[in-house]
């Protein structure tokens, strides 16, 4: 288990098992590694030894930045393969990286390496100019309570509606990836603190990586909760 | 004229309340509240501009922040300018005399300037030698903040500088491409920023803009192409003139090259003279020597422009790009340094690689005002999200937390509202 997952697992405000759901959020800072890939073999070598935070930053963090025009390729790796290496095939192969059901970021690394090693075996290993090299970075982050808290499903829905993008991203993506858990924090809390397992199952089907920004993830989770609570109040559940 | 400093509350309408609250939380959770910034000039250039804004904001957050400037003489600044050029171009430019002059003045500064504080930010190579005052074995943390491109430096100068940098607790660079694989200290990325409330960036009435155009003899009926920057070879002002000459054969427009001469840049006057010569005989090319603290006029010139150019061939970050984007101006800029972080090709402007490319994009945007408007709109939002001073401040606080906290993920207690 990585130092980061150990820390997240023992945060005093780990919210999946407590009575209240405490909304957290994180702010991120990029740590530079100086490792710069100019060809696919370099890229594979650096990726093999990269910190988990590096994979997180290059693959998932772009969701937080997607405020402008959604890029055709949703993560740093696929964008580099398409834009700099001019390899649309490889770019598409690494564009569609879902959140892993198990194994967290280590699983993501192995999936990527499998695809990239196959590409190398098929003869792909061109070198790009120095100005186009891929710079691997890590990220560090601090976590803090957002000030929101929920005791009931209604309160959870209210607070999700008002939560910031940083908070939604933390509970739907960051926390899950670094704890290497299968599910997001919201559905974990629902399962552990209510009998509404059906709702939890619906929330679990939300895949953040299919969205172009965090607001869109938030809207989907909220719609699921609003519909479920409405049906519950009507006695349909 | 000194400008007003703004309170954090005044930034809320631009960046939102959440970021302001988070700044307070982060600052409260930093162990060791005194912060000292050290650089080599109080006026001219982006670093001084940022510090002028950043230090008061740090103080408002409850930190005890101050700003000191090392002293230099002509020989020292010639040495540091040579180092700067050697670091950015990779050329073997520095002589033994430059190294000797640097060390001599550094020793004098070490004697004359007492560095006190819990966190010391040393900006750029000029004051790097002040690290000799680091109190080893204490909680004091030293951060070397590099604003220039050291990705392909001259080996001699870099080796000389790295001896100092490796004694710091961390370093900070403006873009990932500047990171070094041969440094033993942690390296963070913090992009520089602009202040949306400063005279240089705030909204201006059209009447004022017209007065500024009139003052400089500019024709407000013609599309204006503008580059605002130091007179420096790295900004390629001659290249801008050449590109403009290609465009102005077909489209009636005017060019403004405006900039100042910084205290710590002995080369500026020479470049300015060459630029004036290159524009000789052209009444549609205006070379403006703009003194420091003429921010309102610079703002007006950028806002009056149909296109803003930053045709750098080497660049630290190129904050004039962010300034122009914030004013919803389309930008044509050299694909170097931190510029590609700001100019997303085809989304917020165009990246160019030579004079012909610059000329083509000037012509294209002058003929396609709808495209220019879309790029400008995107550019403003891009800057709002990424290049404002509040984000910059947040990242400095994150670096300070990261180098002091031992936990893999620090958990911060919220700021009491």
CATH number at residue B87: 3.40.50.2000
Nearest to B337 by CA among B371, B362, B314: B314
Does residue A35 belong to the interface with chain B, where contact is any CB pair within 8 Å?
Answer: yes
At A154, is the pLDDT very low, low, confident or very high (cuts 50, 70, 90)? Answer: very high
The beta strand positions in A13-97, using DSSP E, are 21-37
What is the pLDDT averaged over residues A28-53?
A: 95
Nearest CA in chain B to A53: B408
Which of A120, A200, A117 lies closest to A153 in space, CA to CA?
Answer: A200
Q: Of all residues in chain A, what percent are helix, strand and coil, respectively (each to 5)?
A: 55, 15, 30
Rounded average pLDDT over B81-97: 94
- Are residues B325 and B213 located together in one domain of the fold? yes
- Rounded Cα distance, B372 and B149, in Å: 29
CA distance B262 to chain A (A): 29
Residue A27: per-residue pLDDT: 95
CA-closest candidate to residue A87, choices A116, A107, A108, A46: A116
The parent domain of residue B100 ranges over 8-193+388-404
Q: Same domain for B211 and B116?
A: no
pLDDT of residue B43: 78
Task: List the beta strands (DSSP E) in B45-118.
Answer: 64-69
Predicted confidence (pLDDT) per residue in A117-142, tens digit = 999 999 988 899 888 899 999 999 99
Please report, for residues B54, B119, B351, B409, the alpha-carbon distance to residue B37 in angstroms, rounded to integers and kept in the order given: 10, 9, 33, 27
Contact list in A for residue B411 (CB cut-off 8 A) is 11-13, 142-144
- CB contacts under 8 A, B 168-227 vs A, are 173, 176-183, 186-190
| pLDDT at residue A74, as a whole number | 87
CA distance A187 to chain B (A): 23
What are the domain boundaries of chain A? Answer: 1-237
Does B219 lie in the same domain as B176? no
Average per-residue pLDDT for chain B = 93
B313-338 burial by CB neighbour count: b if 16+ within 10 A, else e?
Answer: bbbbbbbbbbbbbbbbbbbbbbbbbb
> Do the domain assignments include residue B409?
no
* Whether B85 and B23 share a structural domain: yes
Same domain, B370 and B394: no
B32 and B174 together in one domain: yes
Q: Kindly tell me if the per-residue pLDDT of B150 is higher than 70.
A: yes
- Give φ, ψ of A144 to 5 degrees: -150, 155
From the list A67, A140, A178, the residue facing B402 with the nearest CB is A140
B223 lies in the same domain as B189: no
Question: Of A228 and B404, which is predicted with more confidence?
Answer: A228
pLDDT of residue A124: 87
Supply the mean pLDDT for chain A: 90
- Among B26, B180, B382, whose Cβ lies nearest the Cβ of A34? B180
Q: pLDDT band at B263, cuts 50/70/90?
A: low
Q: Does A236 touch chain B (CB under 8 A)?
A: no
Q: How confident is the model at residue B408 (pLDDT cuts 50, 70, 90)?
A: confident
CB B146, CB B173: distance < 8 Å: yes
Cβ–Cβ contact B1 with A under 8 A? no
Residues of A in contact with B341 (CB under 8 A): none
Cβ density class B99-113: b for 16+ within 10 Å, e for less: bebbeebbeebbeee
The verdict on B375 touching A (C-beta cutoff 8 Å) is: no
Higher pLDDT, residue B266 or A176: A176
pLDDT tens column, B210-230: 999 999 999 778 999 999 998
- Check A29 against B190: CB less than 8 A apart: yes
Residues B177 and B271 in one domain: no
B25 touches chain A (CB under 8 A): yes
Q: Does the structure show a pLDDT above 70 at A9?
A: no
* B21 and B130 housed in the same domain: yes
**Model confidence at B92, in pLDDT bands (50, 70, 90)?**
very high
Q: Look at A32 and B394 and tell me if their CB atoms are within 8 Å.
A: no
What gap in Å lies between CA B415 and CA B21, rounded to an integer? 7
| Residue B412 domain flag | no
- Tell me the per-residue pLDDT of A212-228, one tens digit each, with 9 for 90 and over: 899 999 999 999 999 99
The answer, yes or no, to whether residue A23 has pLDDT greater than 80, is yes
Least Cα distance to B230 among B124, B111, B318, B170 occurs for B318
pLDDT of residue B366: 97
Per-residue pLDDT band at B58 (split at 50, 70, 90): very high
C-alpha distance from B188 to closest chain A C-alpha (Å): 4
Instruction: Return the number of other C-beta atoms located less than 10 Å from residue A163's C-beta.
Output: 21
Question: Is residue B413 assigned to a domain?
Answer: no
Tokens of B202: 């705030």
Asked if A192 is an interface residue toward chain B (Cβ–Cβ < 8 A), one would say no
> How would residue A7 be classed by pLDDT, with cut points 50, 70 and 90?
low
Asked if A13's CB is within 8 angstroms of B179's CB, the reply is no
State residue B1's pLDDT score. Answer: 45
Residue B3 lies in a domain: no
Looking at residue A236, its pLDDT comes to 86
User: For B286-332, how does the pLDDT look when each residue is reduced to its tens digit (9 = 90+)?
Assistant: 999 988 778 999 999 999 999 999 999 988 888 899 999 999 999 99
Number of domains in chain B: 2
Q: Where are the extended beta strands (E) located within B262-398?
A: 285-289, 307-310, 331-334, 349-352
Q: Which residue of A30, A38, A49, A72 is the best one to mutate when testing the B interface, meaning the one whose CB has the most B CBs within 10 A?
A: A30
């Amino acid at each position: 288990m990585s130092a980061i997952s150990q820390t997240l697992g023992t945060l005093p405000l780990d919210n999946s098992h407590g009575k209240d759901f405490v909304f957290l959020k994180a702010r991120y800072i990029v740590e530079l590694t100086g490792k710069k890939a100019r060809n696919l073999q370099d890229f594979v070598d650096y990726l093999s030894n990269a910190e988990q935070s590096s994979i997180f930053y290059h693959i998932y963090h772009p969701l937080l930045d997607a405020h402008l025009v959604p890029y055709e390729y949703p993560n740093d790796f696929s964008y580099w393969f398409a834009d700099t290496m001019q390899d649309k095939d490889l770019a598409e192969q690494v564009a569609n990286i879902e959140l892993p059901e198990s194994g967290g970021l280590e699983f993501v690394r192995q999936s990527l390496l499998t695809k990239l090693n196959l590409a190398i075996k098929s003869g792909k290993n061109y070198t790009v100019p120095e100005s186009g090299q891929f710079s691997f970075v890590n990220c560090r982050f601090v976590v803090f309570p957002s000030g929101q808290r929920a005791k009931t499903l209604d309160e959870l829905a209210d607070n999700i509606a008002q939560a910031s993008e940083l908070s939604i991203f933390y509970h739907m993506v960051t926390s899950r990836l670094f704890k290497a858990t299968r599910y997001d924090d919201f559905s974990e809390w629902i399962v552990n603190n209510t009998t509404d397992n059906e709702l939890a199952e619906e929330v679990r089907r939300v895949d953040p990586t299919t969205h172009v920004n965090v607001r869109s993830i938030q809207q989907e989770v909220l719609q699921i909760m609003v519909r479920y609570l409405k049906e519950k109040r009507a006695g349909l559940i | 004229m000194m400008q007003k400093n703004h309170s954090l509350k005044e930034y809320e309408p631009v960046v939102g309340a959440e970021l302001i609250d988070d700044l307070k939380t982060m600052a409260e959770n930093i162990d060791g509240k005194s912060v000292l910034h050290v650089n080599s000039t109080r006026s001219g250039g982006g670093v001084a501009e940022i510090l002028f804004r950043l230090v008061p904001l740090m103080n408002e957050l409850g930190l005890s922040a101050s700003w000191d400037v090392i002293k230099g003489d002509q020989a020292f600044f010639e040495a540091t300018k040579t180092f700067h050029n050697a670091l950015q171009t990779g050329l073997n430019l520095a002589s033994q005399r430059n190294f000797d002059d640097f060390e001599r003045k550094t020793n004098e500064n070490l004697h004359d300037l007492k560095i006190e504080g819990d966190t010391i930010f040393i900006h750029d190579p000029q004051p790097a030698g002040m690290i000799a005052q680091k109190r080893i074995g204490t909680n004091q943390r030293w951060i070397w903040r590099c604003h220039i491109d050291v990705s392909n430096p001259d080996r001699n100068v870099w080796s000389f500088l790295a001896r100092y940098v490796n004694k710091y607790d961390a370093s900070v660079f403006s873009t990932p491409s500047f990171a070094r694989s041969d440094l033993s200290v942690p390296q963070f990325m913090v992009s520089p920023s602009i202040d949306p409330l400063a005279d240089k960036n705030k909204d201006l009435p059209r009447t004022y803009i017209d007065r500024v155009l009139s003052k400089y003899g500019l024709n407000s009926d013609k599309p204006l192409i503008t580059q605002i920057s130091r007179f420096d070879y790295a900004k390629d002002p001659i290249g801008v003139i050449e590109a403009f000459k290609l465009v102005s054969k077909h489209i009636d427009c005017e060019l403004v090259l405006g900039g100042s001469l910084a205290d710590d840049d002995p080369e500026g006057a020479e470049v300015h003279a060459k630029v004036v010569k290159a524009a000789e005989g052209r009444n549609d090319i205006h070379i403006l020597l703009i003194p420091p603290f003429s921010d309102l006029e610079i703002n007006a010139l950028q806002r009056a422009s149909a296109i803003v150019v930053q045709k750098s061939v080497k660049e630290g970050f190129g904050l004039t790009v962010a300034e122009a984007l914030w004013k919803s101006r389309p930008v044509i800029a050299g694909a170097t340094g931190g510029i590609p972080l700001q100019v997303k090709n085809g989304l917020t402007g165009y990246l160019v690689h030579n004079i012909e490319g610059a000329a083509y994009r000037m012509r294209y945007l002058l003929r396609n005002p709808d495209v220019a408007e879309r790029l400008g709109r995107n550019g403003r939002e891009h800057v709002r999200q990424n290049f404002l001073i509040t984000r910059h401040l947040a990242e400095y606080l994150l670096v300070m937390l990261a180098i002091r906290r031992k936990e893999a993920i620090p958990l911060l207690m919220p700021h009491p509202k």
